[in-house]
Amino acid sequence: MKKLLISFSVLAGSMLIPHAAFAAAPEKTLCTAGETPLFQCTIKGKQVSLCSSGGSKDDAGKLQYRFGTPQKIELSYPDTPQPANGKFFKSETGYSGGGEERVRFKNGDYDYFLFERTVRTGFGNGPNNPEFSAGVITRHGKSVTTRLCSQDGAMKPASRTLPEEEFEYLPD
Read off the DSSP letter of residue 54.
S
Is there a contact between 103 and 162 (Cβ–Cβ < 8 Å)? yes
Sheet holding 46-53, edge to edge: 73-83, 62-68, 46-53, 36-43, 154-155
Q: What is the pTM of this model?
A: 0.78
What was the pLDDT predicted at 152? 66
Cα dihedral across residues 26, 35, 52, 78: positive or negative: negative
What was the pLDDT predicted at 164? 94
- Checking if the pLDDT of 151 tops 80, the result is no
How far is it, in rounded angstroms, from Cα 36 to Cα 54?
9
pLDDT digits over 131-150, tens only? Answer: 888 999 999 999 999 999 99
How far is it, in rounded angstroms, from Cα 163 to Cα 84?
7
